[in-house]
Structures are given as structure tokens and as C-alpha cells.
Amino acid sequence: MRFVFCRLFLFLNKNLVCIEKSFILFYCIDMKELQLKYGCNPNQKPARVYMENGELPITVLNGNPGYINLLDALNGWQLVRELKIATGLPAATSFKHVSPAGAAVGLPLSETLKQIYFTGDVELTPMACAYARARGADRMSSFGDFISLSDECDKATAQLIAKEVSDGIIAPSYSDEALEILKAKKKGNYCVIQIDPNYVPAELERKQVFGITFEQGHNFLDINESCLENIVTKNKSLSEDDKRNLVISLIVLKYTQSNSVCYVKDGQAIGIGAGQQSRVHCTRLAGQKADNWWLRQCPKVLELDFVDGIKRADRDNAIDVYIGDEYMDVLEEGKWQNIFKTKPSVFTKEEKLAWIAKNTNVAIGSDAFFPFGDNIERAKKSGVTVIAQPGGSVRDDNVIAACDSYDMVMAFTGMRLFHH
């Protein structure tokens, strides 16, 4: 039995006249379904989520989640839950369209990371650090995200979320202060979901495609450091940080649309390439995202002098364009004045390559085998030194030779991690 206490707030003539009136007290017994406004698209009606047996493991504390919101929430929750189990650290992920834009564990932030993640004066907790990392790695892709947290959402984490454009959040619990902050977002419509951390899904799962029912066993595959024991390269030295980063990459891939590749550094995903038909395109896409994350830490980028009052999204976009190939879109006369106080010089290709070359100790995981050595060549350019992939290609020897040529460490996990 669950009681829901509803309050009515009246605001008159811009005066904060708050009349708090208890107008209804009702209860729900055995909440087995949740009606939704529509499915993936507005024309797909009716829509709902429901349980065939038992109650839903989620409670909507604020707002109204949509179909895709719930897909993001439930996939994201599984990801952070497994990161917490594997690392022992609080974990967060930022989901968009049923793939993570970022994911991380709660390691402390350097002053540079605080600056590029725009944490401001928030006193960061481990949970807040995890979210700052998850959101900050690929801020362009995380715009309008759905957040998943492994642990209670505290005040510091809510303060960070309050500054960002986001659709909603799922967590096992919320502090009173955090809940108050989150309920104020989106004019009171921000989606806040609480999940039962002890919920375990049924062993069999089903879905329908074109009226045909598919059934398979739930993917209970346990990913931990034991998955990294089969090292096939000449260099067999993995540090504890390497192991943690590789495990994080594999867990992220488990909940990323395939084909997928994930670059990880210092406990956070810094580049995720999702949903590509060609694996090398995944590697290139994720590598470019990892490079952009690193380029944002270059002093030349950190020193960009933005006009007062620029919106966070406009600033993020300007940085992304400035460090890319279309930099003149923000440096042309008549355009830069709307973004910068003083016109920055061009961030040249030579400068960018020199800065990217300083990145190292990056881990990469792949949800299926690398079929060619070109993936290794591309990964090397983004500072990759350790790799985890299933193995099993007829060209494994070619891929191993490419790793050996750069003194990389590569483990064959024997696990395919396709996700659709």
C-alpha cells in the first residue's frame, strides 16, 4: 500500500502566495501498471508499462515519464548497479535514446575536470563526482539526458542536475533536500523515479516485433576482473587502474546499442561509439569523442573568454565547434562577438595533434571482436594502452600483432556483449 500526498500551490500576481492545501489522500494497492501518454512516437497509442506478476519496482515521485524515458531509466539503472557491484564505488550514467552518453564511478575530480564540467561552487560528494563525470564527458550528447544513480541522490548531486537540461532521474532513494531541488526543475514537471534496489527480474524476458514474440534468458552475465585473465599479447602487465577501467568499459558496453566500443580513463567513459554497423566506425566515433574530451582540457580551450550570460548549451556547442573542423562557424566576423569577449586564435590541427599525443593510459572495450588491426591503429591515436574484447576472429593474429607493435596489453574475454 502506498500513500500519495498531493499539494496545491497557488501563485497570484507574482507574489509568492503559497496556499498549501491537502486536498486528497489516496492509495494504490499492487501497482502493476503505469499508463503512458504515448509510445516511442505520439501516434503510437495507447501505451503503458506493466508487470504480469507482482508490482512494478518503480515509484514515480514527480513528473510523468515517457516510454523512452523508462527505457533509458531501466537500462541505466542496470548499468550503474553493476558498476557499483564491480568497483565498490557510487556510479552514475547519462542516457540518451537507450544508450549511455557517459558513465562513471565516484572518483574525485581534478581542478581541470571541475572547470570543464562546470561544477561551480558545489561541494562535491562521491555521488556528485560520479554524475559530473558521466554528464561531463560528452556534454553535447548528454543534453536532455535521463540520469541513473547507483546510490541515494544527495543535495550536491541534485545541485549539479539543477543546472543542466535533463528529462529525469532514477535512483534507489533521495534525500529530502535533493528531492526538493529536483521537484523544482522544469516548472515542477521534472521526472523523478525511485527504484527498489532489491528488485531482480525474471530469468526469461520477452518482447514483440511485428506481432511476433521473442523470448530469451535475461543477460545476468557477471563482469569483473576475472574476465581479464586471458591476456594474449606479449605485454601482460595490467595495473589496478587498468583493470577497473576495462571492467567499466565492458559494463557500459553491456547496455549500449550494438555495435559498440567504449574508451575509459580514470574511472569514466570518455568516448562511446554506439549503434554502428561497422566496428571500425564505432572505434573512430568513440575515439573522436575521447579526443574532444581531452582537447577541452587544453589550456587554449580553458582560457576561452565567453560573453557574460551565455547559456550553458550555447557555451558547450561553441567549445565543440571551436575544437572541431568547422571552427570558423564561431570565429567568423559578426559571429564570434556573440560568443566571446575577445576573439580566440584558431586552434590549429598541429596544436590539436600535439595535445592529443599527451593523452595516455586509456582503456578500450569492444562488445564483439575486432576483425582488423585498423581498430588498434585508431585506438592508439587516442592514447589507448589496454584493450578488452571477446576475441574469436579469424584475424585475431593480425589484431594481436598490431597490439604488440605498440606494446599494448589485450585481454580476450570470450564474452560477446550485443545489446538491442
Summarize pLDDT for 308-329 with one digit per residue, the tens: 999 999 999 999 999 999 999 9
Q: Give a yes or no: residue 339 inside a domain.
A: yes
Which residues touch 156 (CB under 8 Å, ≥6 apart)? Answer: 122, 123, 124, 125, 127, 128
Summarize pLDDT for 377-399 with one digit per residue, the tens: 999 999 999 999 999 999 999 99
Residue tagged active-site, from 259, 292, 359, 375: 259
Asked if 173 and 319 sit in the same domain, the reply is: no
Asked if 178 and 235 sit in the same domain, the reply is: no
Asked if 320 and 373 sit in the same domain, the reply is: no
CA distance 341 to 119: 22
Q: Give a yes or no: residue 22 inside a domain.
A: no
CA distance 322 to 334: 16
Summarize pLDDT for 340-357 with one digit per residue, the tens: 999 999 999 999 999 999
- Say if residue 26's pLDDT is above 80: no
User: Is residue 259 annotated as a catalytic residue, yes or no?
Assistant: yes
Residue where a domain stops, chosen among 195, 211, 241: 195
Asked if 186 and 106 sit in the same domain, the reply is: yes
User: Is residue 207 annotated as a catalytic residue, yes or no?
Assistant: no
Asked if 137 and 187 sit in the same domain, the reply is: yes
Q: Per-residue pLDDT averaged across 123-142, rounded?
A: 96
Q: Give a yes or no: residue 177 inside a domain.
A: yes
Q: Give a yes or no: residue 212 inside a domain.
A: no
* 67 half-sphere exposure, CB direction, 13 A CA radius: 13
- Say if residue 304's pLDDT is above 90: yes
Residue 381 three-state SS: helix
Are 322 and 330 a contacting pair, CB within 8 Å? yes
Q: Give a yes or no: residue 301 inside a domain.
A: no
Residue tagged active-site, from 84, 96, 185, 380: 96
Domain containing 95 equals 57-195
The percentage of the chain sitting over the pLDDT mark of 90, rounded to a whole number, equals 91
Asked if 132 and 259 sit in the same domain, the reply is: no
User: Is residue 281 annotated as a catalytic residue, yes or no?
Assistant: no
CA distance 169 to 70: 10
Residue tagged active-site, from 97, 183, 186, 343: 97
Asked if 338 and 362 sit in the same domain, the reply is: no
Q: Give a yes or no: residue 268 inside a domain.
A: yes
pTM for this prediction = 0.91
Q: Per-residue pLDDT averaged across 136-156, rounded?
A: 96
Asked if 278 and 324 sit in the same domain, the reply is: no
Asked if 279 and 313 sit in the same domain, the reply is: no
Q: What is the mean pLDDT of the chain?
A: 92
Summarize pLDDT for 211-229 with one digit per residue, the tens: 999 999 999 999 999 999 9
Q: Per-residue pLDDT averaged across 152-174, rounded?
A: 97
* pLDDT given for residue 204 in this prediction: 96
Residue where a domain stops, chosen among 151, 179, 195: 195
* pLDDT given for residue 31 in this prediction: 79
* 353 half-sphere exposure, CB direction, 13 A CA radius: 4
Q: Per-residue pLDDT averaged across 193-208, rounded?
A: 96
- Say if residue 415's pLDDT is above 80: yes
369 closest CA partner among 414, 420, 409, 419: 414
For the chain, the domain total comes to 3
* pLDDT given for residue 5 in this prediction: 35
Q: Give a yes or no: residue 156 inside a domain.
A: yes
* pLDDT given for residue 2 in this prediction: 41
User: Is residue 420 annotated as a catalytic residue, yes or no?
Assistant: yes
Asked if 116 and 171 sit in the same domain, the reply is: yes
CATH number at residue 380: 3.40.140.20
The percentage of the chain sitting over the pLDDT mark of 70, rounded to a whole number, equals 93
* pLDDT given for residue 3 in this prediction: 37
- Say if residue 123's pLDDT is above 50: yes
Asked if 104 and 138 sit in the same domain, the reply is: yes
Asked if 128 and 184 sit in the same domain, the reply is: yes
Per-residue buried b or exposed e for 185-202, using 16+ beta carbons within 10 Å of the residue's own CB = beeeebbbbbbeeeeeee
